[in-house]
Structure 1
Amino acid sequence: MGLASVAQHIREDQPAPAGLLGLPLETIELICRELPTCDLAAIRGTGRAAYHATNLCFAQRYTEYHTDFSERSLNHLHALSQNPLVRRHIRHLVVLTPEPRLGQHLDWEWTAAGHLRHPLGMSLIRRFRDDLTDRLLQCRSFILSPIVSEPETKPPVTDGPTFNPDDVACILLDIIAEAALPVKLFWYGKGMNYTSPVMDIARLPKTLFRSGSFQCGWRALENLHLELEVTPQNYTFLLDLILSATSLRKLHLRLGYTDLAVEFFEQLSRSVDVLAHLERISIWGSSIRTGHLIDLLSRTRPNLQKLSLRGVTGLDPQWLSYLAQNHRHFPRLVSIDLSMIHGPSGMFCFTPVQYLPLQQKSMFELETDVHGWLPDPGADRTAVIGVTYTGPHIGKALGVLAQVCNGSARSR
């Protein structure tokens, strides 16, 4: 009987095949990977031998724990934290729940200023804090990326506030501040097609960056991913999130196509201390000026390994020429990912790469608009709108791209 048929046999609530537990442990784990968690839990309940044989496979199911901040979800996480094996595998806390179902059935209270009233004073949240600090010692990655709510599931309009992703961020940031929690990854974004306001400064902690314990925990941050429209209200808060992360190695920013986003990158490009450690920079869906990007890159020269620019506006080919001419000053740079980059003369077109000699063309992965991402319905869907290169010959690759882009700009 094959692995798939054994798994199907178990799913259909039939008796387990004879000698299942006599199989090699690796084979049992392969079978278990085919099963939904509820079926795997049922096998674990059939006896002590089955329980121990499936321990590792069961624990690995919870590397990412998805929570909606409901009482049921936080109780489940607490139960998992009591299991010494499972809790060692929980590394990422993920919040992807649509807003109407987020934080349901809990009595949240808000201050007149608009943020949660002492959430760590709630017994359930206090226990959640204790679980993170005392038992879930590997869970140091927090991902908040709410998804779009279907119109029919949106809650009725009320006079008071309802629990939303900013309130989740407030709780997590408060926990980091109170416990000096050494967070490794913080992902705070809109999510797919999410249109509601995110990072309403009224919802977030007011004295966060004056807290020494927050600074201590936040200094451990290595990966910061922000997909938020920069506004006059959250501008300083966003900048402080980045500048306080003095060990940052990976930075992803998606800040929108506004003059304020341009000013934000100008300010960020002057921040020598933080940028010096960066190994990966991703700027997507944002406006930035060429000079600011060059300044930003120049701060990262010792450690930069990967640069990704997608859906970026405001650039001309000069930044690519700078990188090509100075690639020897970027000793660790091995990867560049470019797509849908717009300058004063329009979008960079990488189509000429297709007609280069095979040795040069084969260096790149090429991207066309096969999904119809470009807004112009008359756009040429076969045009090369993006290129990716990863390898040891980054200098040659940058030289080719700089030549292509400069030639494309002149041809316009």
Structure 2
Amino acid sequence: MVDFLITYEHKARELENICLLKVELERRGYRVDIMHTQDLNRLRYLFAKKPKVILTHALYDNEDYYYHVNAIAGNILKVVNLQWEQVLSKEAYKKGFHNPKQKAALATHICWGKETFERLITSGVEHCVITGAIQMDFLKNKFEEYYYKKEEIMKMYNIRDKSIILYISSFTLANVSEDFKENLKKRTNYDIDELSEIMINTKIETLRWIEEILKKDTEKTIVYRPHPNESCDKDLERLENEYKNFRVIKDLSVKQWIKVAEKIFTWMSTSIVEVYFANKSCYVLRPQEHNENLDAVIYKDSKIIDNYNEFEETLTSEKSDKFPINESEIFKYYQIDNSKYSYEKICDLLEEVLTTNKYDLPSSEVKYRIHPKAIITPIVKSTIIRFRITKKTPIIRKNKKISNWLNLFWEARAKQEKDMAHSEEINTITEKIKIILEKENEKRD
């Protein structure tokens, strides 16, 4: 058995944070495993290595509870939701999809700040705990040595220009299929057509602005940082192929790129808060008018750049402008406690979850029998991968339905594998964190 199993969805967004939890919990004497939600070797956690506590990346309803809890660990009463999406739009708050319901509401939910805490409590969630945002711990002085230096990054990615300009993207709906949109509408009861159209138009115009800069300034490299849920497309590929000083890079955390960038731009990404806590300046590009109800709430009354000339001026200006979003909006959703790190607060809570029954889910309401599907599905998918079964496999290709399914499976699998961390990657991150924490402990002693 393991004491804690921490699952994740996007390594760029979550891996550093959960590695920090792993290191601290192991320092306290607990056994901790990390697993991607789509890891097909998950059956060991149903049987041989059943965790005592499971930590999920999201938990909204019974469907989430099944896939993120039951299908991984079976019947378990100690469930903690790290919920990596806490800053939403007015419309999303109104629809209420992000308020945990059904079995999901019975888990323990980590809150970064007071606004999320009050929203969940008001919606009927009992176990909510404000810890602050663990990702912001990495932007405190203690973790300064964790990051690669600018020279190291430039060598790693063969960036030869003098400056790195970072664009933090969040165009998650700009190039998704109609089927995806329809499924999202059904699941969330959220009409995304308007937001999708705004994203498409904004992305087109933003890339046009960027291309104008690429033509004029060959001494700056623009790093386009996609959202973890954003797919690369022909427009980005064309720019990367035509301009040596344009790069689309998903590797490493957004915090790492914030640290080494001279100028930072975004549209609606909540990573702007990480820019703020990194004490860097940032600019909000809005070439298309945005619907306030669809905007992330922290962008309320923000200062925006809505024309190309001003965008170009910021790239050549040496002055540091006032931060574009209001501090008061940030602090509503991100609690700052200088007396204790968020990762320490979360680990304190996890110890309490493990060693007491205070946060246990009621067994009568979450009683679960292992569904055969939870066992069969990973076995079937593992077999397909092991034997490279595709739509061209002789025994398969005559069956159109199975061929189509296999085609979609391999496309999805390719994306998933890019988001899965190998053990070497996890070890590299945890070792860097261990060194930092050991130095901190030596100072205290």
Report the structure, 1 or 2, having the larger strand content: 1
TM, length-normalised to structure 1? 0.27
Report the structure, 1 or 2, having the larger helix content: 2
Larger Rg: 1
Which structure ranks higher in relative contact order (CA pairs < 8 Å, sequence separation ≥ 6)? Answer: 2
TM, length-normalised to structure 2? 0.25
